[in-house]
Structure 1
Amino acid sequence: MRNEESTGRGSVGARMGVALGVAIALAVIHPSAQAAPDGGAWTTETVAPGLQVRTGVIRHAQAKPSWTVTVQAPGSAPVGSRAWADGTAGKLRDAGFAPRVERVVWPSYADTPHGTMGWRVRVGSYGSSDEARSASQKITGDGFTAAAEWTGYDGQQPADRESVHVAVIDPTRFTGTVEGTHDESVADREKTSSVAARLRSLVAVNGGFFVTADADGVQGTMAGIGAYDGELESMAAGSRAALILADSGRHPRIADLTSTVTARAGTSTYAVEGINRVPGKVRNCGRPRATPTQRPRQDLTCAETDDLVKFTPRFRTTLPTGPGVQVVLDAAGRVVATGPRGGTVPAGGSVLQGIGAAGDWLTAHGRPGERIALKETVRDTAGRQVRLDSDDSIVSAAPTLVKNGRIAIDAATEGTLDPQDLTFGYAWSNVRQPRTMAGIDHRGRLILATVDGRRPGVSEGFTLEEAARFMRSLGAQQALNLDGGGSSAMAVRGRLANVPSDATGERAVGDTVQVLPSHRG
């Protein structure tokens, strides 16, 4: 939602209050918003010393959303040129409709153009989706491409309601731990609340992006960097935002991370481009050998014809099969067997699968008894190495929202939109959606937040820019966007607290962030 009104200039905030133990504001994205939620005061729950959850509905008194019909621009773009918009509006008027032309501007991204993005054409203001769909059918029947839309999802005007949940964890007072986890297998999907109930966690939110379809790899495996209990279980999709939970969450930080893994056999080395994914398929792209792009590209599966992939003991399902070579390693890195791809990862061991030139390298160096050493390195954008101990975890997503206390959304760099192709990522980034966010304030407190969305008149969600302003209003000095949409979930004491947007209810996800008590049981 690239717009004029969503810039939030002059916005005000409602105080979180003394109950949170911090002086942070609940965001109000637009000047017209009211501080009080539906039904009165915000609710605050002290879940444990140093851990509190705040719940409410942000209301925007001046918002008047409705159903409308939007006419698509050429190439199914969300907006077009002024000449196209004026010409289309004229044709609609000639056909007996009453169109309006709306200017759409770029949000406050750090790496995109500013000012006018384009123009869109809309017809009517309807009280129900059925009315809008009926009007859309008439417009389509006259030769236009059109769709019924809820204007409350636009950033052009305030959303009327946004249901939010905010958890604040103070590591100086909270005696438990905060951990990223993919639970028992990195190849599984499970609901955030189910994992929370089994682990007896106090608060939990969904984590990063993951594979959701067999065509893109193994469902449940992460599409970005992930580390649990100090072990790297998936590699970065380029340089993207990540939540680092060091020392069991006592020292959280947010940084853009990259990862490299090198296999060495004697004096020969080869780059490993994946961990626990199907060779040749790179969800969200961002790897050096990937095509059609080596840059991060949200929800795109890139290809590699020369690919070396490591599988860890947490890949607890059948290994991918197909052309190429597989080498099985024991705990010391010694080659146990070489052959076709398939089977399972041995307990305590690992597996390397290679296709193309990587397969040739494995064939040449994967002789039984030989040793293949693997060196893994994670670095931030400053070049500093992120060393992983057994009580460290990493959960990643995209993009960065807040950096050093300032809104700094690098949406184009992290691949959630393309300024040169407005058909890519427009709705993902610029339309209000359910979101899950994480931030860290100046005192080192971890903020986990969700906003419900895709519920017209109940909770519309946030654009990326609104998510950034919300987290900044909560006091976040650093913040990132985690997985959202139907994946957004927060559980409190093992029970789902928010309302996920999928019609089937809470979605099974890849990894999660769990806030655990010091003693479970």
Structure 2
Amino acid sequence: MIRSLLAALLAIALLPVPSLAQGVTRMLLNEQPLNLSVLPFVQNSVLYLPIQVVEHLGLQVHLDPVRRSARLIKPGTFYVIHEGSRQITWQGQGLQISHAPIWQQGTLFVPRSLFVNLGTILTHSLHRNEIRLSAELNRLDHVQVQPGDVYTRLIFQFAREPVYKLSESESAITIELMGIDPQDIDTLAPETKDLLLKGVKIEKTGSGTARIRIEKAYPSPHKLYWLKSPDRLIVDLVKIFQEEKQSSIAPGIQLTGTYQGFGFGPVSHYTVTISPAARIRLEPVLAGQGRGFIKEPVSRLSQRRGALLAINAGYFNAAGVPLGTLMLDRELIASPIYGRTMLGFGANQRLFIAQNDRSLSAWFPAQSRHLAFHGVNLPRQNNQAILYTSRYGLSTGTAENPDAIELQLALDGTVSAISSHNTPIPEEGYVISAQGQGAAWLRANAYEGMRALVYSKVWEQWAQALHLLGGGPQLIHQGQIRITAEQEKFQPDIAQGRAPRTALGLAPDGTIILVVADGRQTRSRGLTLQELAQLLRERGATEAMNFDGGGSSTLVVGGKVINSPSDGKERPVATALLVMRE
């Protein structure tokens, strides 16, 4: 037994042991240093080189660790080599090399004789401690950028068709070139001034290798293809495109997410289509649960009510006071501004879009006198008469002013108190606050116990309306694009330019269309009112209106925000429109 053990140990000791090529401190390819993660070695006086050297000569290497083999590929040529076999499959034919490849250190090592088949001159100098390879490498001769409205084209002209590895992401295309002469290659990168093309970087990555990196300003499709005579790699960055993803929120409610490319850049928008057969109701809500106006995120308003989905709705000021018509359950909470467009909720949830300039007034029967209010639940300005309800808060918050007067009214219109400023607002009642010209008649004629009957022609004109929700401007009327931004006196930040948008459209068959478009971001530039109207009409709307946009534009589905608000986070708002299960 001892003799057998000694014999086995002796046999192991006599096995040929691979050794690093003594003194080989560097490798050169066309006189340029070639740095590899594994080094050549000599076994039985034969020099073996790692297969990775071949990549620097212009061949792709596909290594198969399971079969311990490799495929070497370049345009018009491929080789298949295996560990332990001198036989090489070349273009389906058999060739032989001087020695079989060896698998070691997780890769394949090939004898120097293989490089003769590759047209490469290899010299191994023990005296100079180096290995030199000499090969005719490919060249990148010229790079050109051709911007356009539909696509931006990049043209890379080579001496011959190159070998490369391609990797792609949303933001970049990376081309790893093999067998390329890197001399002066970094000087070929072109200057770019293009909406989609952020830049082109060309750099040497090693001896015989280089990298082209095409960076995009935003995600978009692209195409790569070759043209001959001369050999050119063409990369088209596509600007006009449309990608859609659809999903069902509930029976009869379809969500479509669209990422669309235009000549001016990309737009990301969402469309919710609600069938007339869907068992839902639309419900406008006001932020807060008590007296006083506040702002809350749409997601919180949606979660509190258990809504299927929600969008932001009307305009508001910094304090959260609604701007524009707002009537909930026939309670007029905010008055119209400049006759702006509103959404009405009629009998049996019938929706309509109209314009409203009807506010509130007071009628003093004993004096046969009308007093028209400049607004409802708004901070009073000079020479104005404002009506305050308990929605505004505990008091009017007005400052002392010798030209002002305030009347506290019970629900039946009886004046219960008269003061000059900051009058408490009764839970069930009103306060009339007037200053300057609006106060002159009241200061001369008001007394406790007089009657002031509050009324509005809103209740007369839309007698069947349960809710009114202001927004604007109008976008589509009777199937035609009709944008009333100038008529409704909207400022340029709303009326002009591209921005995040929220809108609602109505189709003739009763279908409801909600649109939320992201904007002011690299990935989504936003829409103009004209583009928004066109989108709604394409979706089937014959009546449509705009809501508050910008950082307010929010779409919540299942309690979660699914769009990308331009503030980088959800903006608190004053009102929202909920879609509730019936």
Relative to structure 1, the CA distance from residue 186 to residue 401 in structure 2 (aligned partners, 3 Å threshold; closer, same or farther) is farther
**Does the 8 Å contact 1:243/1:253 carry over to 2?**
yes
Provide, for residues 291-336 of structure 1, a one-character-per-residue CA deviation record: whole Å limited to 9, x for no partner: xxxxxxxxxxxxxx32111111212354221221111111211111
Number of the residue aligned with 1:414 = 488
Number of the residue aligned with 1:188 = 294
The answer to whether 1:361 aligns with 2:441 is yes
1:259-338 aligned at under 5 Å gives the runs 259-265=358-364, 266=366, 267-280=368-381, 305-322=382-399, 323=401, 324-338=404-418
For residues 251 and 474 of structure 2, what CA distance do their matches in structure 1 show?
29
**Does the 8 Å contact 1:180/1:227 carry over to 2?**
no
Number of the residue aligned with 2:340 = 240
For residues 329 and 308 of structure 1, what CA distance do their matches in structure 2 show?
15
Q: How far does residue 511 in structure 1 lie from its aligned partner after superposition?
A: 1.3
For residues 279 and 448 of structure 1, what CA distance do their matches in structure 2 show?
35
Number of equivalenced pairs: 340
Relative to structure 1, the CA distance from residue 429 to residue 357 in structure 2 (aligned partners, 3 Å threshold; closer, same or farther) is closer
For residues 241 and 394 of structure 2, what CA distance do their matches in structure 1 show?
50
Q: How far does residue 186 in structure 1 lie from its aligned partner after superposition?
A: 5.8
Q: How far does residue 50 in structure 1 lie from its aligned partner after superposition?
A: 3.0
The amino acid that maps onto 1:163 is S
The amino acid that maps onto 2:548 is D
Provide, for residues 202-253 of structure 1, a one-character-per-residue CA deviation record: whole Å limited to 9, x for no partner: 11111111112xxxxxx111221111121111111112211112237x2111
Number of the residue aligned with 2:281 = 177
The amino acid that maps onto 1:450 is V
Number of the residue aligned with 1:252 = 351
Provide, for residues 80-139 of structure 1, a one-character-per-residue CA deviation record: whole Å limited to 9, x for no partner: xxxxxxxxxxxxxxxxxxxxxxxxxxxxxxxxxxxxxxxxxxxxxxxxxxxxxxxxxxxx
The amino acid that maps onto 2:342 is A
1:461-480 aligned at under 5 Å gives the runs 461-480=526-545
Q: How far does residue 372 in structure 1 lie from its aligned partner after superposition?
A: 0.6
SS of residue paired to 1:508: coil
Number of the residue aligned with 1:375 = 455
The answer to whether 1:481 aligns with 2:582 is no
SS of residue paired to 2:513: strand
Provide, for residues 397-451 of structure 1, a one-character-per-residue CA deviation record: whole Å limited to 9, x for no partner: 221111111111122212235xxxxxxx1x5433211000111011122211100
The amino acid that maps onto 1:386 is W
Number of the residue aligned with 1:208 = 314
5+ residue gaps, structure 1: 6-30, 61-157, 213-218, 281-304, 418-424
Number of the residue aligned with 1:294 = none
User: Percent of counterpart pairs with the same letter?
Assistant: 27
The amino acid that maps onto 1:209 is Y
For residues 177 and 316 of structure 1, what CA distance do their matches in structure 2 show?
29
SS of residue paired to 1:378: helix
Number of the residue aligned with 2:330 = 230
**Does the 8 Å contact 1:187/1:317 carry over to 2?**
no
**Does the 8 Å contact 1:409/1:465 carry over to 2?**
yes
The amino acid that maps onto 2:242 is A
For residues 161 and 211 of structure 1, what CA distance do their matches in structure 2 show?
30
Number of the residue aligned with 1:387 = 463
For residues 443 and 328 of structure 1, what CA distance do their matches in structure 2 show?
48
Q: How far does residue 341 in structure 1 lie from its aligned partner after superposition?
A: 1.8
Number of the residue aligned with 1:144 = none
The amino acid that maps onto 1:414 is E
The answer to whether 1:517 aligns with 2:577 is no
Q: How far does residue 388 in structure 1 lie from its aligned partner after superposition?
A: 5.3
Picking from 472, 482, 485, the partner of 1:398 is 472
Range 367-376 or range 480-489, more displaced:
367-376
Bigger relative CO (Cα 8 Å, ≥ 6 apart): 1
Q: How far does residue 365 in structure 1 lie from its aligned partner after superposition?
A: 4.3
SS of residue paired to 2:243: coil
Q: TM-score, normalized by length of structure 2?
A: 0.55
Q: TM-score, normalized by length of structure 1?
A: 0.62
Number of the residue aligned with 2:429 = 349
Relative to structure 1, the CA distance from residue 317 to residue 210 in structure 2 (aligned partners, 3 Å threshold; closer, same or farther) is farther
Range 313-322 or range 459-468, more displaced:
313-322
Number of the residue aligned with 2:90 = none
Relative to structure 1, the CA distance from residue 193 to residue 365 in structure 2 (aligned partners, 3 Å threshold; closer, same or farther) is farther
For residues 180 and 226 of structure 1, what CA distance do their matches in structure 2 show?
9
The amino acid that maps onto 1:348 is E
For residues 44 and 272 of structure 1, what CA distance do their matches in structure 2 show?
47
Picking from 484, 500, 508, the partner of 1:442 is 508
Picking from 521, 537, 562, the partner of 1:455 is 521
SS of residue paired to 2:323: coil
**Does the 8 Å contact 1:180/1:245 carry over to 2?**
no
Aligned CA-pair RMSD: 2.3
**Does the 8 Å contact 1:452/1:461 carry over to 2?**
yes
Picking from 37, 44, 47, the partner of 2:247 is 44
For residues 567 and 530 of structure 2, what CA distance do their matches in structure 1 show?
23
**Does the 8 Å contact 1:451/1:462 carry over to 2?**
yes
Provide, for residues 235-280 of structure 1, a one-character-per-residue CA deviation record: whole Å limited to 9, x for no partner: 11112211112237x2111112111322111212211111000111
**Does the 8 Å contact 1:53/1:166 carry over to 2?**
yes
The answer to whether 1:53 aligns with 2:255 is yes
SS of residue paired to 1:476: coil
For residues 449 and 48 of structure 1, what CA distance do their matches in structure 2 show?
17
Relative to structure 1, the CA distance from residue 490 to residue 317 in structure 2 (aligned partners, 3 Å threshold; closer, same or farther) is farther
Picking from 140, 160, 165, the partner of 2:270 is 165
1:74-89 aligned at under 5 Å gives the runs none
**Does the 8 Å contact 2:519/2:566 carry over to 1?**
yes
Relative to structure 1, the CA distance from residue 317 to residue 202 in structure 2 (aligned partners, 3 Å threshold; closer, same or farther) is farther
The answer to whether 1:34 aligns with 2:134 is no
Relative to structure 1, the CA distance from residue 326 to residue 223 in structure 2 (aligned partners, 3 Å threshold; closer, same or farther) is same
**Does the 8 Å contact 1:320/1:342 carry over to 2?**
yes
Q: How far does residue 359 in structure 1 lie from its aligned partner after superposition?
A: 2.1
Number of the residue aligned with 2:187 = none
For residues 527 and 317 of structure 2, what CA distance do their matches in structure 1 show?
23
For residues 424 and 456 of structure 2, what CA distance do their matches in structure 1 show?
22
Number of the residue aligned with 2:9 = none
Number of the residue aligned with 2:4 = none
Relative to structure 1, the CA distance from residue 247 to residue 186 in structure 2 (aligned partners, 3 Å threshold; closer, same or farther) is farther
SS of residue paired to 1:233: strand
Greater per-residue strand proportion: 2
